[in-house]
Amino acid sequence: MSGLVSLNETIALLVLAVGLAMVFGNGLALVKGSRGEGPDGQTLYAGRAWFLLVAGVVITIWAVASLIG
């Protein structure tokens, strides 16, 4: 496209943002959960947090590869 930012690049940047948010959010939940600093009455599902963190890493790598290539 001849525009300032192409649609493909915009979508890749949005996917990158989602992936990084998944990594950061679940990583923070795991760190705070291991310290016992979570919200009162809430339980940490560590398996789900690890799964979503790994999924976020995969999404982030995919988005970076799309932006580079």
- Domain locations in the chain? 7-68
At residue 64, the pLDDT reads 97
Q: CA 15 to CA 63: how far, in whole Å?
A: 6
Report DSSP letters for the chain, one per residue.
--SSS-HHHHHHHHHHHHHHHHHHHHHHHHHHHHHT-SPTT----HHHHHHHHHHHHHHHHHHHHHHH-
More confident residue, 32 or 37: 32
Torsion of CA 10, 15, 19, 25, to 10 degrees: 80
Q: How confident is the model at residue 36 (pLDDT cuts 50, 70, 90)?
A: confident
Q: How confident is the model at residue 39 (pLDDT cuts 50, 70, 90)?
A: confident
